[in-house]
Amino acid sequence: MKLFKLPDLGEGLQEAEIVEWQVKVGDEVQADQPLVSVETAKAIVDIPCPFPGRIAKLFAQPGDLVHIGAPLVGYEGAAENDSGTVVGAVPVGRQVVEEAPAAVGSAAGAAARVKATPAVRALAHRLDVDLAIVTPSGADGLITVADVQRVAKILAELGPAEPLRGVRRAMAQNMAQAHSEVASATIIDDADIAAWAAGADVTIRLVRALVAGCVAEPALNAWYDGRALARRVLKKIDLGIAVDAPDGLFVPVLFDVGNREPADLRRGLERMQADVKSRRIPAEELRGATITLSNFGMIAGRYAAPVVVPPTVAILGAGRIHARVVAADGQPAVHRVLPLSLTFDHRAVSGGEAGRFLAAAIADLERAS
């Protein structure tokens, strides 16, 4: 039997979840015809048949997680071409294996710092209770037997935990890494957009304003290497745009936004939204962002402290547009206001640089057109 293993899908991904087989056992297949659709932390990827032959065995079922290099398909009558792969138990299943990146900011360190006697720790281990989530009731923060039993009862009523997969798992790892590494600081201000014409394209105006901020302060369009204590200020602005989806947070990249016309940017945004909705966004459009925009105000909220994900050093958040009484020519007037929140990595960006960036973005937003 000749084996075809799950190939390296790039981006440092170590596993993929089987979504749908396009073949079944006994099928005669040709090279490059659709074989299987898999879901990674980035997108749904279609894998073609690597060579012609008859399908003898499928090593995983829809919903299974398969690690890179594990067998996917066995081809019948091709033993003489076997590449030496050992055929045996395949490490697949619904239980997500903990990997090194997931340990960043995890509860493992917290569990080691909790106060509990060896007997209580043993009870927690037996009842499968993470001591990091237990609220202590004993003296000086000591976790008691009753505390562990209380949490165990709650967990039993809730049922088994749902492992995070795909986009949500990647989101959890990225946010933990950001929390662990980035020295975040946030400044907020408002843009008075009373001069805007009716029907103005809010997202395109935000993109243009962000570009104006980068022109005024290029330091925010940069990558920072925390280990080397070095930064790279980038000339081209490749904008990551946070997109909310049922599966979790996507941040596809709109490339070279500083040199594109509004109509071209709008077409790019619409295609990006369609690709995210269908989970068919190309992998190359999910990497390489130099700065990020989050228009969370389309859902709710005025101000926030958006999370900067390394290696980028800044993210601009836009809150909900609302009417507010302001002073205009010495008189009270009701104007539309756009709240802005700029989070930056204070390791690489100074407060002055962040302030000048935000001031330039606001000045651009307050223009009539």
Instruction: Take residue 48 and report the two structure tokens written for it.
Output: 């073609």
Question: Of the spans 22-36, 101-115, 165-179, which averages the highest pLDDT?
Answer: 22-36
Alpha helices in 90-135 (DSSP H): 108-113, 118-126
Q: What fold does the segment set 183-365 form as a domain?
A: Chloramphenicol Acetyltransferase (3.30.559)
Boundaries of CATH 3.30.559.10 in the chain?
Answer: 183-365
| The pTM of the whole model exceeds 0.75 | no
Is residue 164 within 8 A of residue 17, CB to CB? The reply is no
> Measured in Å, how far apart are the chain's first and last C-alpha atoms?
66
Pick the CATH number of 2-81 from 3.90.1170.50, 3.40.50.620, 2.40.50.100, 3.30.300.30: 2.40.50.100
Query: What pLDDT sits at residue 104?
Result: 37
CATH superfamily of 100-158: E3-binding domain (4.10.320.10)
pLDDT in tens, 210-269: 999 999 999 999 999 998 999 999 999 999 999 888 877 888 999 999 999 999 999 999
From 306, 339, 305, select the one nearest 322 (Cα to Cα). Answer: 339
pLDDT tier at 13, thresholds 50, 70, 90 = low
Is residue 145 within 8 A of residue 120, CB to CB? The reply is yes
Boundaries of CATH 2.40.50.100 in the chain?
Answer: 2-81
